[in-house]
Structures are given as C-alpha cells and as structure tokens.
Structure 1
Amino acid sequence: MVDLSEIEPGIVLLQMQDRIHKNAFTDDMTLALLNAFDTIAHHDRYKVVVLTGFDSYFSTGGDQASLLRLHEGRGHFATTNLYSLALNCRIPVISAMQGHGIGGGFVIGLFADVVILSRESVYTTNFMRYGFTPGMGATYIVPLKLGTALGHEMLFLARNYRGEELKQRGAPFTVLPRAEVLPEAMKMSRQLAEKPRVSLMTLKDHLVADQRRKLPDIIRSEVAMHEQTFHQDEVKQNILSLFGK
C-alpha cells in the first residue's frame, strides 16, 4: 500500500503503490498515509520526504465508495487531515508527481514544499465534473500554487491538463519527462539533506505559516459548500456513471 524507507541518510522515500485502486484514497490508503507521516514525525534524523507514486499514477484521489458516502451524508473529507499531511510535516516534502494526479490526489501533492510534474501525466481538479464543489483545500491551494486565473479555470472547468500544458500556461513547477521526475526529486532531496535539520524545519515553519493559519477556515468553508452541493441526486448519478472514465 505505502512503502516508507530511509533510502539515504536523512532522505525518506514515501511511495504510494496501491496498484489495484491506482493510489485512490481508500480507507486503507488514508490510514497508511496517516501512519507514515506519523512515523516520520517521530524520527529526529529525517530531513526531507519525497512523496511519489508508481508507474503512471501519483494518486487518483477519492474512490467511488468514499464519494458515495459523502453524498449520503456519512462523514466529510475533513474527518482526517489527509489533505494537509505534507503541509504540517515538520520537514520539507517534495511531491514527485511522476504520474496522473486526479482530484484530491493532485491537491495533496500541491501542499508539498516542492512540486515536480511529468510532461505526459494528467492533472485535474475534477470535483465539479461530478457536480460538487471542490474540497481537500483545493479552493485555496490550487490558485495559490498555479495562479488565480489558471487555478480558477481548473476548479470551474474540471478538465484534464497534461503537465506540459500546465507548464506552457505558466505553472511555476519543474516539469520533466516521467522517467526524470523521481531522479530530479532525489537530486533536490540530497541538496536539502546537506542542511541542518533545525534550519530546514525553522525555514519551513516560516514559509508555510500563512498557509497553516488560513487553511482551517478554508476547510470549514469547503465542508459547508459540500453540505449545499454534495447531496444532489445529479451528483450521485454522476459519481455512478462518470467515475473512472
């Protein structure tokens, strides 16, 4: 499900590899990610985390079963802090999105400190494709990281974008051929691992302080919007008919 290993001194590789569900946020994947970041928090020698997926998938976001539960009013996405794991991690996180990032699967990668995309892969905030408003902090982090115009377009249209297109549209990320994404992330992680851990944590706390402060209110607003938009019959039908297509 999730492989966590210190592959070089101070460098932790966190690889999502649920090949059956394409790294969707099933209950098992969610628990595995929560446990992995908890493990990272309790090791004082770690300096940087590289978060990645497998083959052509980074993460496909919420699975159909969890979306149907939300439609039925059984819980909400903020029950766990899955969306903010990278943001709240004390040490820098590099999201090596070598594969497709769909919905919350794209958003969770954007909360990392450094983002690397692949030219070939599809990235989308597809919430509105099903008819419900975005969650997982998407309404905040997508415009923040990609710019207001492109971010709002992605959130409203909910269409697919290749990494190469996002680069051409001004996305301020490193965008490379898929095979080069993880090697570039490792190169960056080695540069970070050269620095003192205390200095890395202190700088991260400073750089993301505003995001950490604002995010709880954003999440509350998104949950409130879901109360208005998620329970429509049309949304259920879209989840049943469009999921995975």
Structure 2
Amino acid sequence: MKISSVVHMVEQDGIVQITMEDRQHKNMFSEQLIEGLRESFATIEHLPQCKVVILTGYDNYFASGGTQEGLLAIQDGRSKFTDLNLYSLALNCRVPVISAMQGHGIGGGFVMGLFSDVIILSQESIYNTNFMKYGFTPGFGSTYIVPRKLGFALAQEMLLTAENYRGAELAQRGVPFKVLPRTEVLQYAYKIAESLADKPTESLITLKDHLVASIRSELGPIIQEELQMHEKTFHQEGVRQRIVSLFGQ
C-alpha cells in the first residue's frame, strides 16, 4: 500500500511494515515524509488485523530529522516542533511499534525511533542528538526519552555534545538494545514481530497501554519545558548562522 510518494506500508499476517523512502531528502522530515507517516499511523488505527508495526528506512538512512527550512522556520518564530508531533506517533499507536533503525538516525529522526516499544540499531550507522550542534537546546521530547531509553549518563553526554555515535560504539557503551549488522536489522525485527503477532490483539493493546502509561503522562510537561528553552535559545542570531552554515555537515 503506497501511502505517499515517500512512505510505503504493507500488511501481512498482522504485521504492518512502514518504510520511509524519501531519497531526495535522505529521510529528513520533508512535507511528504511527515504527511506519509501521519497518514500511515492514522490508517493503522482502522486496521483491526494489525497487531504490530515495524518502522524502518531505506539503504543506510533511517530518519534524518528536520530539514534546514524547517529549522529556520522555528528560528524565525513561524513554527514549533510540536506542530509536527511526529515524536508521539509510535508512542500513541495502539499496538506495539518496532523501530528497525537499519540506517542513520539523526537528531529528531533518532529520537522518533526511541519512542517505539522495541528498538534495533545497526552497527555501522550513525546516531546522534545533534540539536546543540546548531546552538539550540534539544526538543522533540529528547530530554525525556533519551535518558529514559539510553540511561542518564550516556544521554547527558549525547545531548550536550551533539557528537556522532556508531551503533557499535553504543553497544560497547551498554545500550539496552539489539545492535546488529545493517543487513540483519529488518530480519530480526520480523522475528520479534512474528512473536508479537502470535498474541491476542487485546492483550497486546492492554499491555502496551500499561507499559507506556508513565511516558504518555509525563511527556507533556517536558515538551512544554523544551518549548520554553527554545524561546531562550532558538531565536539567537548565532543559531541562524549555524543552521545556514553547518547544516548537512
């Protein structure tokens, strides 16, 4: 099922695979990718046969975060990261979501994947929370979900430094996720998905609701705090210069 020109969705035996494939923008949050993701997750809500979702990218890209135009719009005060609300798609999905991050997860793209219920990384790929590279404080719920999923010490380092980390390095640092060669990530995701699809749908929904209840209830205030930090940090002239000069490097 083709949801948009850059997002494809297929369903078989209770497993829905959503593939992000915006080759022009390398899976940055383009308008087409945003529209496709939101439509995909909305469609899943009306697929009673769906028991589990696999979210993945193409080749060596999982998701690459905001576009330069999108970041400049926030810097100019024309938008906020909450306008997209991509970060909560997996969290609020009624069934479990597996992020098969076979490729690079950059900034908001990495954070979006962390909101899934099961996370798989690739050894070769780069993952980062690169917000501070451009001089503005992290958003997208990253100040909450990165420490929760990776542990405080590693998350604090990643958020402050905005440096790149290969999946193999994150495995050495003790992240609690499976980190596999890129060619094995999707295969392993299906292994987990098939195990989940064997369970009753209502039981999966009920257990997910219980497991993520604290995240859903605690995230809102954190998002507001991130927006308040953005009011202090995003609109500096130096930030605009960084977005213009450093984007894509």
Which interval holds the TM-score relative to the shorter structure?
Answer: over 0.9
Equivalent residue for 1:99? 103
1:72 aligned onto 2:46: no
**Aligned mate of 2:10, from 2, 5, 25:** 5
Normalization by structure 1: what TM-score?
0.99
2: CA distance, partners of 1:173 / 1:129: 26
2: CA distance, partners of 1:212 / 1:122: 28
2: CA distance, partners of 1:205 / 1:242: 40
In structure 2, the gaps of 5 or more residues are 1-5
Q: The residue matched to 1:236 in structure 2 has which SS?
A: helix
Equivalent residue for 1:182? 186
Equivalent residue for 1:24? 28
In structure 1, the gaps of 5 or more residues are none
The aligned length equals 244
1: CA distance, partners of 2:133 / 2:85: 24
Amino acid at match of 1:218: I
2: CA distance, partners of 1:242 / 1:86: 30
1: CA distance, partners of 2:224 / 2:88: 14
Equivalent residue for 2:47? 43
1: CA distance, partners of 2:164 / 2:173: 13
Give the alignment of 1:84-233 within 5 angstroms.
84-233=88-237
2: CA distance, partners of 1:35 / 1:15: 13
1: CA distance, partners of 2:85 / 2:161: 26
1: CA distance, partners of 2:145 / 2:216: 11
Q: The residue matched to 1:46 in structure 2 has which SS?
A: coil
C-alpha RMSD of matched pairs (Å): 0.6
Shift of 1:230: 0.5
Q: What are the superposed Cα offsets for residues 86-112 of structure 1, whole Å, 9 maximum, x if unpaired?
A: 000000000000000000000000000
Q: The residue matched to 1:51 in structure 2 has which SS?
A: strand
Q: The residue matched to 1:19 in structure 2 has which SS?
A: coil
Q: What are the superposed Cα offsets for residues 128-180 of structure 1, whole Å, 9 maximum, x if unpaired?
A: 00000001000000000000000010000000000010010010000000000
1: CA distance, partners of 2:81 / 2:231: 12
2: CA distance, partners of 1:88 / 1:42: 14
1: CA distance, partners of 2:209 / 2:178: 23
2: CA distance, partners of 1:80 / 1:53: 19
Shift of 1:44: 1.0
2: CA distance, partners of 1:227 / 1:103: 19
Q: What are the superposed Cα offsets for residues 14-59 of structure 1, whole Å, 9 maximum, x if unpaired?
A: 0000001011011221111111100011111100000000000001
Shift of 1:80: 2.9
Aligned identity (percent) is 61
